[in-house]
Structure 1
């Protein structure tokens, strides 16, 4: 059974990182935290109540500690053409717009500021707004809509102001 201290840490992790849902499954426990509004709701399934399923996967090494600050994309110097790259802060799926028929967040020729949302990256069914983190004009879009992206992969190139 999951202890109260661990449960409180998971709820704090959710609120600190603005997560809406968190599923954790271990050898003996299964916990689903889902946030609606400000208060997370907890669903705990004890091992005795869980229906038998496929064999549990091999244990995985514990993840690195999570910081309270969510990852932000890095806008770094040094692209081939001398511009600044806006890089992906996570692994996921790149979306240029909020929906298939919506206008893209950012296109070649658009001026951006550090707080300008340039795209969405979907990771684990959560859509994350990615900001430019730099000022300038977009000179190249380096990925296609719906393309899988890796951590630190350049998404856009901008010419600094």
Structure 2
């Protein structure tokens, strides 16, 4: 497959008549690399069988899913990411959280969370240890994670593997 350079891409939107799940119903893997100005990846919520999502060097992205002002994301009634097994984020210098302003986001099939050089990422909300096998990241990143009231960091600790 030929790669296209879209470094100045800020958003990806599908119109109501042409939804992502209609155009890409069997898409299982997405790699987004070097889209420095991309703000979020909201559109991936609409991919019913997505199993692998990898984001590298999307420097302006503060959150993968951002429901603020996006009614299609805010009004979502079905669980998010029913098939996502691997979420990999690398070199995302502004990434502070996985999801913001999105109700009922979960990763029920998530097996691997891979984090590299995402030092602003301080929360991993929505990552339940249901099927989780491994969280890959540096000790430095793991230590700076915020302790959440529900003890999610403590519950996830057995899955953490230091990958520097």
TM-score exceeds 0.5: no
More strand by share: 1
Normalised to the residue count of structure 2, the TM-score between the two structures is 0.21
TM (norm. structure 1) is: 0.22
Richer in helix (by share): 2
- Greater Cα radius of gyration, structure 1 or 2: 1
